Amino acid sequence: MSITHITSLYQLDGILAKSSDKLSVIDFHAQWCGPCHMIAPKFEALSKEYKNVNFLKCDVDAAKDVASRFRVTAMPTFVFLNGSTKVDQVRGANPGALQETLRRHASGSSSGTFTGKGQRLGDASSTASANPEPQTDTPAIFTVFAQLDPKVKVLVYLVAGYLLLSYLS
């Protein structure tokens, strides 16, 4: 399904009124937002995979009234709606969280088909871990830092160096 760009509350309300029984996901982004550009291809790929979901994009600088309605304070923010009712949101450029939240909410509005991976009874691979991603004990601050724009990382390093030098002096 194609992605619709939202420019006003009037346009958004019209789309939501036509799809009161359908899941909609709004990607709140900004042109100046590096993480927004990073996750945009994933959002587009998901729009092609989930054909029963409305995928919408809203530039927070161009449609401030829409961003204000959903109290968007960070970019990117993904707001999930059933009809016009907000059911969930994902803040930040986290492809895994976006995909998992979409999968969880789209399953309720799907046509009843099973979307998981099947296994045969007694198959050796059926005893594999249900969670294929490795668990790490990485503190959240490092995860957030890894997602920062490279220019912001340089600024953080410079400030840390300045503080360290002033402490040692």
DSSP H helices, the chain, are 9-18, 34-49, 64-69, 95-106, 140-146, 150-168
Active site amino acids: 33, 36
- Residue 150, SS3 per DSSP: helix
CA distances, 135 to each of 54, 107, 108, 139, 152 (Å) = 32, 26, 28, 12, 27
Q: How would you class 53 by CB atoms within 10 Å of its CB: exposed for 0-12, middle for 13-18, buried for 19 or more?
A: buried
Q: d(Cα 90, Cα 85) in Å, to the nearest integer?
A: 15
Tokens (6 digits) for 109? 């509005």
Cα–Cα distance between 1 and 155 in angstroms, integer?
40
Maximal C-alpha separation, the chain: 68
